[in-house]
Amino acid sequence: MIEVGALRALQSVAALGTLARAADELGFTASAVSQQIKRLERQVGVPVLAQAGRGVVLTPAGQAIVDSAPEVFQALERCAEAAKSIADGSPRGTLRVVAFSTGIRGLLAPKLGKIAERCPDLRLRIAEQDPDEALRSVDAGTADLAIVHDADGLPAPLPPSLTQHHLHTDLGDVVMTRDHPLAKLKRPLTSADLKGQAWVTSPPGTVCHQWFQRLVADQPDVRHLADDFATQMSLVATGEVIALIPRLARPRIPAGVVDRPLRRPPKREVHAAWRRSADASPAIQAVIAGLDL
Protein backbone atom coordinates (compact mmCIF):
# COMPACT_ATOMS: atom_id res chain seq x y z
CA MET A 1 0.00 0.00 0.00
CA ILE A 2 1.23 3.51 -0.84
CA GLU A 3 2.35 5.53 2.18
CA VAL A 4 0.72 8.91 2.64
CA GLY A 5 4.05 10.64 3.31
CA ALA A 6 5.54 9.31 0.09
CA LEU A 7 2.46 10.41 -1.84
CA ARG A 8 2.71 13.90 -0.35
CA ALA A 9 6.42 14.05 -1.28
CA LEU A 10 5.70 13.14 -4.91
CA GLN A 11 2.93 15.74 -5.10
CA SER A 12 5.29 18.46 -3.84
CA VAL A 13 8.07 17.45 -6.23
CA ALA A 14 5.56 17.55 -9.10
CA ALA A 15 4.43 21.06 -8.12
CA LEU A 16 7.88 22.53 -7.48
CA GLY A 17 10.10 20.72 -9.98
CA THR A 18 13.02 19.72 -7.75
CA LEU A 19 13.64 17.55 -4.70
CA ALA A 20 15.30 20.49 -2.91
CA ARG A 21 12.31 22.81 -3.29
CA ALA A 22 9.93 20.07 -2.23
CA ALA A 23 12.09 19.39 0.81
CA ASP A 24 11.98 23.07 1.81
CA GLU A 25 8.21 23.16 1.53
CA LEU A 26 7.72 19.90 3.47
CA GLY A 27 10.31 20.69 6.12
CA PHE A 28 12.52 17.68 5.30
CA THR A 29 15.97 17.21 3.83
CA ALA A 30 16.32 16.53 0.11
CA SER A 31 17.73 13.11 1.04
CA ALA A 32 14.61 12.27 3.07
CA VAL A 33 12.33 13.27 0.18
CA SER A 34 14.44 11.19 -2.22
CA GLN A 35 14.08 8.17 0.07
CA GLN A 36 10.32 8.64 0.20
CA ILE A 37 10.15 8.74 -3.59
CA LYS A 38 12.26 5.59 -3.89
CA ARG A 39 10.02 3.87 -1.33
CA LEU A 40 6.99 4.87 -3.41
CA GLU A 41 8.61 3.43 -6.55
CA ARG A 42 9.17 0.14 -4.73
CA GLN A 43 5.55 0.12 -3.59
CA VAL A 44 4.11 0.66 -7.09
CA GLY A 45 6.82 -1.25 -8.98
CA VAL A 46 7.58 1.44 -11.61
CA PRO A 47 9.63 4.69 -11.76
CA VAL A 48 7.66 7.82 -10.93
CA LEU A 49 10.33 10.46 -11.64
CA ALA A 50 12.87 11.06 -14.42
CA GLN A 51 15.77 13.52 -14.60
CA ALA A 52 15.25 16.65 -16.72
CA GLY A 53 18.29 18.93 -16.67
CA ARG A 54 18.79 20.10 -13.11
CA GLY A 55 15.26 19.18 -12.14
CA VAL A 56 12.95 16.21 -12.42
CA VAL A 57 9.71 15.43 -14.27
CA LEU A 58 6.99 12.90 -13.65
CA THR A 59 6.87 9.69 -15.60
CA PRO A 60 3.42 8.73 -16.95
CA ALA A 61 3.01 6.47 -13.92
CA GLY A 62 4.03 9.29 -11.59
CA GLN A 63 1.56 11.64 -13.26
CA ALA A 64 -1.24 9.10 -12.81
CA ILE A 65 -0.42 8.87 -9.10
CA VAL A 66 -0.32 12.66 -8.65
CA ASP A 67 -3.63 13.04 -10.50
CA SER A 68 -5.25 10.68 -8.00
CA ALA A 69 -3.54 12.14 -4.91
CA PRO A 70 -6.07 14.93 -4.14
CA GLU A 71 -8.89 12.39 -3.77
CA VAL A 72 -6.77 10.39 -1.33
CA PHE A 73 -5.86 13.38 0.80
CA GLN A 74 -9.41 14.71 0.81
CA ALA A 75 -10.77 11.34 1.93
CA LEU A 76 -8.21 11.14 4.75
CA GLU A 77 -8.97 14.68 5.83
CA ARG A 78 -12.71 14.04 5.83
CA CYS A 79 -12.10 11.05 8.10
CA ALA A 80 -10.06 13.13 10.53
CA GLU A 81 -12.49 16.06 10.55
CA ALA A 82 -15.47 13.76 11.03
CA ALA A 83 -13.78 12.26 14.08
CA LYS A 84 -13.02 15.71 15.51
CA SER A 85 -16.56 16.92 14.94
CA ILE A 86 -18.10 13.87 16.55
CA ALA A 87 -15.83 14.23 19.58
CA ASP A 88 -17.30 17.54 20.73
CA GLY A 89 -17.18 20.01 17.84
CA SER A 90 -14.91 22.40 19.72
CA PRO A 91 -11.91 23.98 17.96
CA ARG A 92 -8.67 22.54 19.28
CA GLY A 93 -5.12 21.71 18.23
CA THR A 94 -2.93 23.74 15.86
CA LEU A 95 -4.20 25.50 12.75
CA ARG A 96 -1.52 26.47 10.22
CA VAL A 97 -2.41 29.83 8.66
CA VAL A 98 -0.57 31.47 5.75
CA ALA A 99 -1.31 35.07 4.79
CA PHE A 100 0.11 38.10 2.99
CA SER A 101 1.93 40.62 5.15
CA THR A 102 -0.70 43.33 5.47
CA GLY A 103 -3.41 40.69 5.86
CA ILE A 104 -1.57 39.53 8.97
CA ARG A 105 -1.18 43.11 10.20
CA GLY A 106 -4.63 44.43 9.35
CA LEU A 107 -6.93 41.40 9.61
CA LEU A 108 -5.39 38.56 11.61
CA ALA A 109 -3.44 40.34 14.34
CA PRO A 110 -6.34 42.55 15.54
CA LYS A 111 -8.60 39.48 15.91
CA LEU A 112 -6.17 37.03 17.53
CA GLY A 113 -7.13 38.04 21.07
CA LYS A 114 -10.84 37.48 20.48
CA ILE A 115 -10.21 34.16 18.71
CA ALA A 116 -8.04 32.98 21.61
CA GLU A 117 -10.70 34.07 24.09
CA ARG A 118 -13.43 32.14 22.23
CA CYS A 119 -11.23 29.12 21.43
CA PRO A 120 -8.77 28.59 24.31
CA ASP A 121 -7.74 25.13 23.07
CA LEU A 122 -6.90 26.35 19.55
CA ARG A 123 -3.40 27.52 18.61
CA LEU A 124 -2.75 29.44 15.40
CA ARG A 125 0.63 29.12 13.70
CA ILE A 126 0.97 31.99 11.22
CA ALA A 127 3.46 32.30 8.36
CA GLU A 128 3.77 35.11 5.81
CA GLN A 129 3.31 34.02 2.19
CA ASP A 130 2.22 35.73 -1.02
CA PRO A 131 -1.21 34.65 -2.32
CA ASP A 132 -0.03 32.20 -5.00
CA GLU A 133 2.36 30.49 -2.59
CA ALA A 134 -0.28 30.45 0.16
CA LEU A 135 -2.85 28.72 -2.06
CA ARG A 136 -0.25 26.18 -3.15
CA SER A 137 0.63 25.47 0.49
CA VAL A 138 -2.99 24.80 1.41
CA ASP A 139 -3.53 22.69 -1.70
CA ALA A 140 -0.41 20.64 -0.87
CA GLY A 141 -1.47 20.19 2.77
CA THR A 142 1.45 22.09 4.32
CA ALA A 143 -0.98 24.77 5.57
CA ASP A 144 -4.64 24.62 6.60
CA LEU A 145 -5.97 28.12 5.90
CA ALA A 146 -4.81 30.87 3.52
CA ILE A 147 -5.65 34.56 3.65
CA VAL A 148 -5.17 35.89 0.11
CA HIS A 149 -5.98 38.94 -1.99
CA ASP A 150 -6.59 39.34 -5.69
CA ALA A 151 -3.64 40.53 -7.74
CA ASP A 152 -4.15 43.67 -9.84
CA GLY A 153 -7.91 43.23 -9.62
CA LEU A 154 -7.80 39.60 -10.76
CA PRO A 155 -8.37 36.76 -8.26
CA ALA A 156 -5.56 34.26 -7.85
CA PRO A 157 -6.47 30.97 -9.60
CA LEU A 158 -8.15 28.74 -7.01
CA PRO A 159 -7.19 25.04 -7.23
CA PRO A 160 -10.30 22.82 -7.57
CA SER A 161 -9.57 21.18 -4.22
CA LEU A 162 -10.04 24.53 -2.40
CA THR A 163 -13.00 26.68 -1.48
CA GLN A 164 -13.02 30.26 -0.24
CA HIS A 165 -14.93 32.85 1.75
CA HIS A 166 -14.88 36.63 1.23
CA LEU A 167 -13.47 38.46 4.25
CA HIS A 168 -12.80 42.06 3.34
CA THR A 169 -12.58 44.73 0.64
CA ASP A 170 -9.42 46.79 1.03
CA LEU A 171 -9.40 50.33 -0.38
CA GLY A 172 -6.61 52.79 -1.09
CA ASP A 173 -6.51 56.35 0.30
CA VAL A 174 -4.18 59.26 -0.44
CA VAL A 175 -2.16 60.59 2.51
CA MET A 176 -0.64 64.06 2.72
CA THR A 177 0.24 66.75 5.23
CA ARG A 178 -2.63 68.60 6.88
CA ASP A 179 -1.66 71.90 5.20
CA HIS A 180 -1.57 70.38 1.68
CA PRO A 181 -4.08 72.01 -0.72
CA LEU A 182 -5.77 68.65 -1.39
CA ALA A 183 -6.35 68.14 2.33
CA LYS A 184 -8.69 71.13 2.34
CA LEU A 185 -11.11 69.60 -0.20
CA LYS A 186 -14.35 68.44 1.40
CA ARG A 187 -15.11 65.80 -1.24
CA PRO A 188 -13.43 62.55 -2.37
CA LEU A 189 -10.42 63.14 -4.59
CA THR A 190 -10.37 62.40 -8.32
CA SER A 191 -7.55 61.51 -10.70
CA ALA A 192 -7.72 65.08 -12.03
CA ASP A 193 -7.02 66.44 -8.55
CA LEU A 194 -3.81 64.39 -8.39
CA LYS A 195 -2.20 65.65 -11.60
CA GLY A 196 1.09 67.42 -11.04
CA GLN A 197 1.60 66.07 -7.52
CA ALA A 198 4.90 64.66 -6.27
CA TRP A 199 4.74 61.08 -4.96
CA VAL A 200 6.38 58.36 -2.95
CA THR A 201 5.11 54.99 -4.11
CA SER A 202 5.74 51.27 -3.85
CA PRO A 203 8.29 49.82 -6.31
CA PRO A 204 7.22 48.53 -9.74
CA GLY A 205 5.94 44.97 -9.68
CA THR A 206 3.91 45.38 -6.49
CA VAL A 207 0.11 45.48 -6.35
CA CYS A 208 0.24 48.98 -4.85
CA HIS A 209 2.36 50.26 -7.73
CA GLN A 210 -0.20 48.81 -10.15
CA TRP A 211 -2.90 50.69 -8.21
CA PHE A 212 -0.83 53.87 -8.50
CA GLN A 213 -0.31 53.47 -12.25
CA ARG A 214 -4.04 53.13 -12.86
CA LEU A 215 -4.80 56.12 -10.66
CA VAL A 216 -2.12 58.47 -12.03
CA ALA A 217 -1.46 57.48 -15.62
CA ASP A 218 0.16 60.57 -17.18
CA GLN A 219 3.89 60.68 -16.39
CA PRO A 220 3.58 61.11 -12.62
CA ASP A 221 6.30 62.87 -10.64
CA VAL A 222 7.62 59.95 -8.56
CA ARG A 223 10.31 61.27 -6.23
CA HIS A 224 10.82 58.19 -4.02
CA LEU A 225 10.26 54.42 -4.08
CA ALA A 226 9.72 52.57 -0.79
CA ASP A 227 8.16 49.16 -0.18
CA ASP A 228 7.57 49.81 3.51
CA PHE A 229 4.45 51.90 4.20
CA ALA A 230 5.79 53.34 7.45
CA THR A 231 8.73 54.67 5.41
CA GLN A 232 6.31 56.14 2.87
CA MET A 233 4.39 57.81 5.69
CA SER A 234 7.58 59.35 7.12
CA LEU A 235 8.40 60.84 3.70
CA VAL A 236 4.86 62.18 3.38
CA ALA A 237 5.29 63.87 6.78
CA THR A 238 8.10 66.02 5.31
CA GLY A 239 5.53 67.76 3.11
CA GLU A 240 7.47 67.02 -0.09
CA VAL A 241 5.30 64.16 -1.41
CA ILE A 242 1.94 62.42 -1.10
CA ALA A 243 1.27 58.66 -1.18
CA LEU A 244 -1.39 56.08 -2.04
CA ILE A 245 -1.66 53.58 0.83
CA PRO A 246 -4.08 50.63 1.28
CA ARG A 247 -6.09 50.82 4.48
CA LEU A 248 -5.00 47.34 5.57
CA ALA A 249 -1.37 48.34 5.19
CA ARG A 250 -1.61 51.79 6.73
CA PRO A 251 0.60 52.32 9.78
CA ARG A 252 -0.15 54.88 12.48
CA ILE A 253 -0.66 58.28 10.87
CA PRO A 254 1.93 60.78 12.18
CA ALA A 255 0.90 64.13 13.62
CA GLY A 256 0.29 66.63 10.85
CA VAL A 257 -0.60 63.95 8.23
CA VAL A 258 -4.16 63.17 7.09
CA ASP A 259 -5.79 60.64 4.78
CA ARG A 260 -8.30 61.52 2.06
CA PRO A 261 -10.63 59.09 0.25
CA LEU A 262 -10.83 58.73 -3.53
CA ARG A 263 -13.98 58.92 -5.62
CA ARG A 264 -13.00 55.71 -7.42
CA PRO A 265 -10.55 54.10 -5.01
CA PRO A 266 -8.40 51.17 -6.11
CA LYS A 267 -9.42 48.05 -4.22
CA ARG A 268 -8.53 44.43 -3.64
CA GLU A 269 -10.77 41.64 -2.37
CA VAL A 270 -9.48 39.51 0.49
CA HIS A 271 -10.55 35.89 0.90
CA ALA A 272 -9.91 32.97 3.21
CA ALA A 273 -9.26 29.68 1.39
CA TRP A 274 -9.12 26.09 2.66
CA ARG A 275 -9.45 22.55 1.34
CA ARG A 276 -13.01 21.46 0.57
CA SER A 277 -12.35 18.27 2.49
CA ALA A 278 -11.82 20.38 5.64
CA ASP A 279 -15.21 22.12 5.47
CA ALA A 280 -16.25 20.42 8.70
CA SER A 281 -13.14 21.54 10.59
CA PRO A 282 -14.24 23.28 13.81
CA ALA A 283 -10.90 25.14 13.88
CA ILE A 284 -11.26 26.59 10.38
CA GLN A 285 -14.88 27.57 10.92
CA ALA A 286 -14.03 29.21 14.24
CA VAL A 287 -11.24 31.31 12.70
CA ILE A 288 -13.45 32.35 9.76
CA ALA A 289 -16.17 33.39 12.22
CA GLY A 290 -13.59 35.29 14.28
CA LEU A 291 -12.31 37.17 11.22
CA ASP A 292 -15.87 38.05 10.19
CA LEU A 293 -16.59 39.78 13.51
CATH among 3.40.50.1220, 3.40.190.10, 3.40.630.10, 2.60.40.10 for 169-266: 3.40.190.10
Ranges of CATH 3.40.190.10 domains, the chain: 90-168+269-292, 169-266
Confidence (pLDDT) at 120: 93
Which superfamily does 90-168+269-292 belong to?
Periplasmic binding protein-like II (3.40.190.10)
Residue pair 58/14 in contact by the 8 Å Cβ criterion: yes
Fold (CATH) for 4-83 = Arc Repressor Mutant, subunit A (1.10.10)
Residue 27's pLDDT is what?
86
Tell me the C-alpha distance between 225 and 210, whole Å.
13
Q: How far apart are CA 73 and CA 97, in angstroms?
A: 19
- What is the spatial distance between Cα 118 and Cα 17, in angstroms, rounded to a whole number? 41
Give the pLDDT of residue 28.
Answer: 87
**What whole-number distance in Å separates Cα of residue 100 and Cα of residue 89?**
29
Largest CA distance in the chain: 75
Per-residue pLDDT of the chain (293 residues; tens, 9 = 90+): 788 888 888 888 888 888 888 888 888 888 888 888 888 888 888 888 888 777 788 888 889 888 888 888 877 777 776 666 555 667 888 999 999 999 999 999 999 999 999 999 999 999 999 998 999 999 988 899 999 998 655 666 788 899 999 999 999 999 999 999 999 999 999 999 999 999 999 999 888 888 998 898 788 999 999 999 999 999 999 999 999 999 998 888 999 999 999 999 999 999 999 999 898 899 999 999 999 87
Determine the residue type at 139: D
C-alpha pair distances (Å), 108 with each of 100, 223, 269: 10, 33, 15
pLDDT value for 104: 95
**Mode of pairing for the β-strands spanning 162-177 and 257-260:** antiparallel
**Angle in degrees, CA 204, 145, 66, rounded to 5:** 90
The pTM of this model reads 0.71
User: How far, CA to CA in Å, does 1 sit from each of 43, 49, 70?
Assistant: 7, 19, 17
For residue 284, the model assigns a pLDDT of: 94
Could you tell me where the DSSP H helices lie in the chain? 4-16, 19-26, 30-44, 60-87, 101-103, 109-118, 131-140, 207-215, 229-236, 282-292
Distance (Å, whole) CA 287 – CA 291: 6
Query: So what's the pLDDT on residue 177?
Result: 97
